[in-house]
Structure 1
């Protein structure tokens, strides 16, 4: 995926990073043939690299500091490193190991880290070639994996790296307000006045008080972030959007309110969640609004997509607003 946030580096810089991470004896020769950019991500740039030993690794580099990102994306690589550590320490959900991380910004202008290459298929890229039964089985597996991730308890609500807030209502309303502020800064049209949207959120925020315990939330666990092989999930990737919050905000529940995001039934079966109560459905509608606001506001920040993408995103935002409008009726 093409995005303004991709922080591409020269082969010389990539070689210096390899030398730092794995030693000079692992630096490949030449300027080509040993690295390939992995193109499916939207935010960080990622390279598949073959070391001199023939072992393959993935190098991820954060966006350059001069590129403006949305508020919730600041410090995303630190969040990913924290998430990977928590997942490996507290669950059996498969994630890549971190071979080396550098936050000194001496070799390039951003944080970076390297991890082993996962020799598997990206579920999002092969989904259309699968049978319905196989797709359902993978969705059940994603639901089960998400449930295990959500067992990790946190110290407060909000960013994994802090600072946290004592209540989920305070944390979530801060999160969604940051997206609205980002949209105002770029004069993004949301189809309705910003003040009206803020009032709608405030009027429905009481349901957030049901959530009293901070849990690890992956949030971005779509098919594109699952690596699969031989009918099973072998790794979950791209953890930079994780936070402490309400498990019901997880991506797999999105389709319960907006079917355009996919059928959630197999995910929920794997997760083991009972039917949603009315307050839970209102919370889920708030979370759908948060997601669709991000999708609309991020377009100018990353220079994303064409007319079809814009149309689809704004249709989902209109749906999310209408659903929240109807929550009190």
Structure 2
């Protein structure tokens, strides 16, 4: 997937990065010729990543953050620092699933961004592999993901929030702020959500009290979908792309979203592996809120990525409407003035962001 956030570099810069990380003796001899020693890994949507073959034949992986002058979503600022911190946490609990970090560079002098080298893991991502698996084998792998995800969620945190800045004792405060951040990002680029922004704000405000049921911060990947799971010989060998990790409610994990919004994938195998047979009413409401946040994020992302393919936005807009309708029990009109008033209060609490940008409440 192409994106303006992908900070691609030529062979000369990549060679300079290799020298800084591993020494001059590691730089491939063919830097001035064909660049068969470096291959872009194309499945990521945010950072650019390369497979680099060092002079001694070892393969390593290089990830480069977006250039510092490229505007990203609010929650994506310092995303590489979040990933590095998350990998440190995971290394203490599931060391066999976290690639070794070889070198981190924060000088910004070679690529106007942070970058790091890590161990290259041989394997196929589960998203690509799934099309070649039988139904039964795919179900088994998704059960394995659920089982593993449960292990990750058992990692406790001291406060709610992103790994690098977990400072709040209130999950409601953190989540409502996350929603407001992505809505403000969308308003800044005039992104169409398929519904007025105030309806989304009001829907979250109506149900926000259910978030108070979450009192214990837990490590949450948030982005553990098929393509971030590496499999070799039928076994999960690595987890990748931890930029969204935080201390949060485990029900925010991607694997739960499909239990309420089926377009995000059938979740029964994941739930079996996780050890959850059913959700309570309050848990289901929380998952619906998290699905709404995910859908809004996916609708806003393309405006910051420079995507020319409208499919992600169109899909996400449909899911925004589905999530709002589900949370509002199938009828937006039923709540009429109540939604308008809740939206007004949410707008005020958010510092008048929507008013300054000209958004209007709509039932």
> What interval of TM-score do these two structures reach, taking the shorter chain for normalisation?
over 0.9
> Secondary structure in 2 aligned to 1:256?
coil
Tell me the CA shift for residue 163 of structure 1: 4.7
Residue 211, structure 1, aligned to residue 214, structure 2: yes
After superposition, the Cα gap between the structure-2 partners of 1:254 and 1:93, relative to the gap in structure 1 and judged at 3 Å, is: farther
Residue aligning to 1:37: 40
Which of 286, 289, 292 in structure 1 is aligned with 2:289?
Answer: 286
Distance in 1 between residues matched to 2:308 and 2:269, nearest whole Å: 29
Which of 177, 180, 185 in structure 1 is aligned with 2:183?
Answer: 180
TM-score (norm 1): 0.97
Residue aligning to 1:87: 90
8 A contact 1:289–1:320 mirrored in 2 = yes
> Secondary structure in 1 aligned to 2:329?
helix
8 A contact 1:216–1:242 mirrored in 2 = yes
- What pairs up with 1:252-267 in 2 under 5 angstroms? 252-267=255-270
Distance in 1 between residues matched to 2:217 and 2:323, nearest whole Å: 25
8 A contact 2:298–2:312 mirrored in 1 = no
Tell me the CA shift for residue 108 of structure 1: 2.1
Residues 139-193 of structure 1 show CA distances to partners (whole Å, capped at 9, x for unaligned) of: 0010011111111111211111115211100000011110000001001111221
> Secondary structure in 1 aligned to 2:51?
strand
Tell me the CA shift for residue 93 of structure 1: 5.8
Residues 186-215 of structure 1 show CA distances to partners (whole Å, capped at 9, x for unaligned) of: 011112211221111111001000000111
Distance in 1 between residues matched to 2:287 and 2:168, nearest whole Å: 21
Residue 100, structure 1, aligned to residue 103, structure 2: yes
- What pairs up with 1:109-124 in 2 under 5 angstroms? 109-124=112-127
Structure 2: unaligned runs, 5 residues or longer: 335-363
Distance in 2 between residues matched to 1:148 and 1:195, nearest whole Å: 37
Select the structure of larger CA radius of gyration.
Answer: 2
Residue aligning to 1:22: 22
Which of 321, 326, 329 in structure 2 is aligned with 1:326?
Answer: 329
Structure 1: unaligned runs, 5 residues or longer: none
After superposition, the Cα gap between the structure-2 partners of 1:255 and 1:93, relative to the gap in structure 1 and judged at 3 Å, is: farther
Q: Aligned Cα RMSD in Å?
A: 1.4
8 A contact 1:93–1:145 mirrored in 2 = no
Greater shift in the superposed pair: 273-282 or 88-97:
88-97
Distance in 2 between residues matched to 1:218 and 1:28, nearest whole Å: 35
8 A contact 1:48–1:117 mirrored in 2 = yes
Greater shift in the superposed pair: 188-197 or 63-72:
188-197
Greater shift in the superposed pair: 190-199 or 213-222:
190-199
Residues 61-80 of structure 1 show CA distances to partners (whole Å, capped at 9, x for unaligned) of: 00001111000000100000
Distance in 1 between residues matched to 2:107 and 2:153, nearest whole Å: 32
Residue 168, structure 1, aligned to residue 171, structure 2: yes
> Secondary structure in 2 aligned to 1:64?
coil
Residue aligning to 1:8: 8
Distance in 2 between residues matched to 1:303 and 1:38, nearest whole Å: 19
TM-score (norm 2): 0.88
Residue aligning to 1:228: 231
Distance in 1 between residues matched to 2:312 and 2:84, nearest whole Å: 30
Residue aligning to 2:247: 244
Q: Would you say how many aligned residue pairs link Structure 1 and Structure 2? A: 329
8 A contact 1:93–1:149 mirrored in 2 = no
Greater shift in the superposed pair: 28-37 or 223-232:
28-37
Distance in 1 between residues matched to 2:311 and 2:12, nearest whole Å: 38
Residue aligning to 1:158: 161
Residue aligning to 2:355: none
